[in-house]
Amino acid sequence: MNLIQKTIRSASVLSLILCGALLCTSCGAEVTASTDQPTQWRFAIEETIGSVQHQYAMKFKELIEERSNGEIEVTIYPYGTLGTSDQITELVDMEVVQFAMASPGHLGKLIPEVQVFLLHFLFSDDDEINNQVLNKDPRLQKTFDELYARKRLKLLSIFSEGWQVWTMKEPVHQPEDFSGVKMRVMTSPLLIAAYKAYGASPTPLPYSEVYSGLQLNMIDGQENPVFAIQEMNFYEVTDWMIFARHAPFITTAVTNRDFFDSLPPERQQLVTGVVADLNDYILKVQKEFNQERLELIRKNKPKLKIITELTPDAREAFRKASQPVRDKFIKMTGEDGRELLKELQQTIQEYEDQKQQN
């Protein structure tokens, strides 16, 4: 059992302690013990210290504290201190934490429509276009915020943390190479369909169990952006790293909707202003992290075999095999999902066309 797993085991105890402390102050985010004390806001992330999400939360903390002239203090809870991604979302729902990261790879169980972000070969090959669509386009933000509102969440931001990269015990060059392979996926049901389409045997697991799953040969491979592969040491327990550019790892920053609505307008603007300023910042961070950490991986494990890109024929075969998963997505989400997929495809296409014209 690794450190993160041990910590997660005690997460329920920890959250009870935290909740107990909050109950003393009526569990109200805006309530503090003394008027002289800063208001306490809590931000839970799904990744460890040193990750992209941690960098986001640290900058959020810095800007909120600075712009509120110290009237607000933000405490960050990295992965392992409050539980799995699913548990973190529950804590936002209970308003035990006010802010959190909620990745569609796990959130899809609660809000099935967000699984549109998990479909393979849907996004552009061009990072700039994907960033425009996800991070800057107000239409998509509005559509998703309405879906999040159904679960009393408020969507603050959507961004990519970099391309998903496969780390495997055996090489993958074409869809057939996935045949019977026990592939770890995040817990959203669509990911099971995505890898079944390649003939794999998908195994949903929380983030904290991936390393030991690989080490004990319970799984044969997993996917994550490079920075995560490095900091979670997944490369240590696999022999191949494959850049298929099949899907970006997308996350969302959220807050409890009732909490946000209860804030005075100037504090709401403080939050939305900080989040807007973080949009470009975090994309720069993820790009740097993914580049630097690939070098670290190469240095730490020279024997690791890296396939930096698939052949065009192989990519086409993967793309073809992935298409029926879109019908599965529509089956899971109904007409709303169909419309959403259409809207996303059109938005991506619009930015592709614009780029070609320039």
> Which residue from 42, 47, 102, 107 is in contact with ligand 6CS, where contact means CB under 6 A?
47
Please, which of residues 157-176 interact with ligand 6CS by CB under 6 A? Answer: 161
Question: Minimal distance in Å, beta carbon 260 to ligand 6CS?
Answer: 23
Q: The dihedral of CA 126, 134, 318, 285: what is its sign?
A: positive
Residues across the chain:
358
Q: Dihedrals φ, ψ of 153, to 5°?
A: -105, 150
118: its two tokens: 């998990």
Question: CA distances (Å), 44 to each of 80, 178, 278, in order?
Answer: 10, 34, 17
Beta-carbon count within 10 A of 203 CB: 20
Q: Does 207 bind ligand 6CS (CB under 6 A)?
A: yes
> Which residue from 40, 68, 224, 347 is in contact with ligand 6CS, where contact means CB under 6 A?
224
Question: Minimal distance in Å, beta carbon 55 to ligand 6CS?
Answer: 12
Question: Minimal distance in Å, beta carbon 168 to ligand 6CS?
Answer: 15
Question: Minimal distance in Å, beta carbon 27 to ligand 6CS?
Answer: 26
Nearer to ligand 6CS among residue 85 and residue 333 (C-beta): 85
> Which residue from 186, 253, 254, 275 is in contact with ligand 6CS, where contact means CB under 6 A?
186
8 A C-beta contact, residue 115 and residue 330: no
Stretch that binds ligand 6CS, among 32-40, 221-229, 276-284, 304-312 (CB under 6 A): 221-229
8 A C-beta contact, residue 191 and residue 203: no
Question: Minimal distance in Å, beta carbon 225 to ligand 6CS?
Answer: 6
Nearer to ligand 6CS among residue 98 and residue 252 (C-beta): 252
Q: Does 228 bind ligand 6CS (CB under 6 A)?
A: yes
> Which residue from 80, 225, 248, 337 is in contact with ligand 6CS, where contact means CB under 6 A?
225
Beta bridge partners of 221: 168, 183
Nearer to ligand 6CS among residue 72 and residue 97 (C-beta): 97
- Cα 56 to chain centroid distance, Å, stands at 12
Radius of gyration for the alpha carbons in the chain, expressed in angstroms and rounded:
20
Q: Where are the beta strands (DSSP E) in the chain?
A: 39-44, 72-77, 99-101, 153-163, 165-168, 182-185, 201-204, 221-224, 240-242, 248-256, 305-307
Q: Does 133 bind ligand 6CS (CB under 6 A)?
A: no
Please, which of residues 72-131 interact with ligand 6CS by CB under 6 A? Answer: 85, 103, 105-106
Separation of alpha carbons 210 and 208, rounded Å:
6
64: its two tokens: 């909120």
Nearer to ligand 6CS among residue 72 and residue 91 (C-beta): 91
Please, which of residues 252-291 interact with ligand 6CS by CB under 6 A? Answer: none
Interface with ligand 6CS (CB under 6 A) = 46-47, 85, 103, 105-106, 161, 186, 207, 224-225, 228, 249
